[in-house]
Amino acid sequence: MGSLGDFMKTESSESKELELLKNEIGIFKNLVQEQKHSLDLIRELLSNSGAREVGASQIEVNYTSAKEGHIFEVSDDGCGMNFTGNASIPGRLDKFLGLGMSAIIGEKSDEFSWKGLGSKLAYRSRRVEIETRFASHPFYIVRINEPWSSLDRNLMPKPQKSEFRDSDEKPGTRIKVFGHPPHRQEEPFSFNEIRTYLLHRTFAGYTKERDNPPRIILSVLGRTEELDFGFPEFKGIDWPDGIMLDKDKKRLVVNIVGNGPKIGPVRLKGFLVWEGDKYQLGKSNLNIGLIISSRGIPYFDLNLEEYGSTSIPHANPGIEKTCLVVECDGIHSKMNISRSDLIDCAETVEFRKTVRKLFEQLESSAIYKEFRQIPKATKAVASADNLFIEKKAIESEDQNWVILQRSGQSPLILIREPKSEAEVNALIWKLEVLNALPFEKFQTLAYVGAKQGPDLLVNFQEEKGSEPLRAAVVEVENNFYNYRVHGHKPSQYPKIICWDIPSSGRKVRLTKTTKKYKWTVNLEEFQVHVFVIKNMEGISVLSRRELKEMGVDI
């Protein structure tokens, strides 16, 4: 469609100031100020364009940002909006300009209309531009300057409408909203933010089957992409009648239906998984927990526990691994969409009871209980696999072993080359019993464990003539790279015993001492002593193959 300036140059135009339909400004302002998210405007404008009554085959959503703030634009090739100027028989454009109150005052509304929220949200801006053509009607261009500023002062905005009777524009509508909402000046939305929102909270993420859905083209800050219509996580699911367990995918697919006399059918559908990452489930992706969908549009989250789920939220498998939608068309008029909530009424009470029964049906089913056992079975298999791997490695010719060899004695095999702090502790205790540690005294008193504080408490004396320490704190490491990463204070943990100090990856500077197994680290006003077992006298590392060559068998 052309720009306002292009059409204003033609002689066939006539422009005049319109008096809006006189609806209560206070009601309107309260409703709009309950808006939860700036992108709600796109949701409502997209719903308007996607309604069956509009008949659009293509909808374009455009977002950019400028000094005015967020700028949203939605255009479609649907039927367009006609204008009558008659409050008794308002056209589509009359209703939009009249703050979208048609459904409230008894006028017939479109498929997804909810109190004309799209119109109301558009008015919460610095400027609105509308271009529309209804078949056999003039082409209209409407401009509304500072609509929210006017309403904020309890004044009705004054749209400027230009009419072009001889235009050859095709039917359709374009609505562009500048500075929505006026007070928001944060960083622009990213393409992924808007794409995720559209596919999980708007008509673009339709949760049911729909014949001949329109193409939806998204453009954000210059990047353009056609969206794959429908709720993304439901793509490719062959919905069962009931509950189905796919053991290979570790996924439970749900499709169960309840019914309420006031609200009609209520369908709980979606899936539970044990490997949420494989399905890109996450809070930022707007696809976890329980989402309410009405007339096919997913709107907002519901609290799983409030709606009857007892075990799913508590790690069975947990909200982060749950993607469920509850569909109920009969609740649409009882939704407070602007607040992302339901109003308190008999219908919503019935809805909650019905959903609770569906969760009871799900969580009491034998299939769900079988699904809950998958982690145990997986753990058992993984444990067996790990045990096999460990046994295979320990029997390998290339397995390395820590050897203690003293003068005149046969090599003594202590333990495989440590892979963990626990194995270093075992090595220390063996060396302690064999009196093979290079200290004057080393007597283990307690193994406290890392979660409690120090690893070891020992009676310690490094060499003759040095200070004997009682209950000295010793930190144990496998490979020593860093110190502060553990959150320890040098004054409390001045001694470290480790298996090795790899040459790469260190985060601290080590200073060599005259003892080949000892280094120091200067931290603040304290000095930390690091003792390296691998460098201690008599310690070596040999493979099983090398040991066999020496005549030593394990």
Q: What pLDDT, in 10s, does the model give residues 130-140?
A: 999 999 899 99
Residue 408 is predicted with a pLDDT of 84
| Beta-carbon count within 10 A of 194 CB | 20
Decide: pTM greater than 0.85.
Answer: no
pLDDT band at 379 (very low <50, low <70, confident <90, very high): low
Instruction: List the one residue out of 177, 174, 164 whose CA is nearest residue 131.
Output: 174
Q: Tell me if 292 sits within 8 A of 299, measured CB to CB.
A: yes
Using CA atoms, how far residue 408 sits from 337, 404, 412, in Å, is 86, 12, 12
DSSP assignment, residue 417? P
DSSP assignment, residue 304? T
CATH superfamily of 4-227: Histidine kinase-like ATPase, C-terminal domain (3.30.565.10)
Q: Is 236 left (phi over 0), alpha (psi -120 to 50) or beta?
A: left
Say how far apart CA 151 and CA 157 lie, in whole Å. 7
Label residue 353 exposed, middle or buried (CB < 10 Å: 0-12, 13-18, 19+). middle
Encoded amino acid at 40, one letter: D
Q: Tens of pLDDT along 393-449?
A: 888 888 999 999 988 888 899 999 999 999 999 999 999 999 999 999 999 999 886
Q: Which residue has the tokens 């007892």?
A: 310
Residue 381 is predicted with a pLDDT of 57
pLDDT at 2 over 60: no
Encoded amino acid at 125, one letter: S
pLDDT at 154 over 90: no
Q: Tell me if 539 sits within 8 A of 506, measured CB to CB.
A: no
pLDDT band at 86 (very low <50, low <70, confident <90, very high): confident
Instruction: List the one residue out of 55, 15, 9 whose CA is nearest residue 138.
Output: 15
pLDDT band at 316 (very low <50, low <70, confident <90, very high): confident
Say how far apart CA 155 and CA 33 lie, in whole Å. 16
Residue 11 is predicted with a pLDDT of 45
pLDDT band at 30 (very low <50, low <70, confident <90, very high): low
Of 391 and 298, more confident: 298
Q: Tell me if 308 sits within 8 A of 356, measured CB to CB.
A: yes
Using CA atoms, how far residue 342 sits from 208, 264, 339, 352, 528, in Å, is 21, 17, 8, 10, 62
Residue 99 is predicted with a pLDDT of 64
Residue 522 is predicted with a pLDDT of 84
